[in-house]
């Protein structure tokens, strides 16, 4: 099992949800109002007057074989809407109940 953490501009919510559905990833936890800033060129998403955009974040636990197709779909979306901001990270799941 893998944990996939996805942080993205809220403007991409429908597209991210569609990718999760397409890859049959049903179980996840979502944080609707996440603040952050890209590590290289991303603008801050702080939800304030100066930086009004906001992020959302999802943590999904998936089967190993779902990870690469999911990342490919997310990468395609990121390439299409590069200025919006989207990042995904993968960890091993050591145990769960």
pLDDT of residue 83: 81
In tens, the pLDDT along 26-62 reads 989 999 999 988 877 778 889 899 999 899 999 999 9
pLDDT of residue 58: 98
Is residue 47 within 8 A of residue 53, CB to CB? The reply is: yes
Which of left, alpha, beta for 38 (phi over 0: left; psi -120 to 50: alpha)? beta
pLDDT of residue 85: 87
Task: For the chain, list the domains and their CATH numbers.
Answer: 2-30+57-92 (3.30.70.120)
> Within 13 Å of residue 44, how many CA atoms lie on the same side as its CB?
7
Instruction: Give 75's DSSP letter.
Output: H
Percent of residues, the chain, with pLDDT higher than 70: 100
């Amino acid at each position: 099992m893998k944990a996939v953490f996805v942080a993205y501009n809220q403007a991409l919510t429908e597209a991210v949800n569609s990718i999760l559905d397409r890859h049959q990833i049903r179980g996840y936890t979502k944080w609707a109002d996440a603040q952050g800033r890209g590590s290289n060129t991303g603008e801050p998403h702080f939800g304030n007057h100066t930086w009004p955009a906001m992020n959302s974040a999802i943590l999904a636990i998936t089967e190993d074989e779902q990870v690469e197709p999911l990342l490919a779909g997310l990468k395609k979306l990121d390439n299409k809407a590069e200025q919006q901001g989207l990042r995904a990270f993968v960890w091993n799941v050591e145990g769960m109940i």
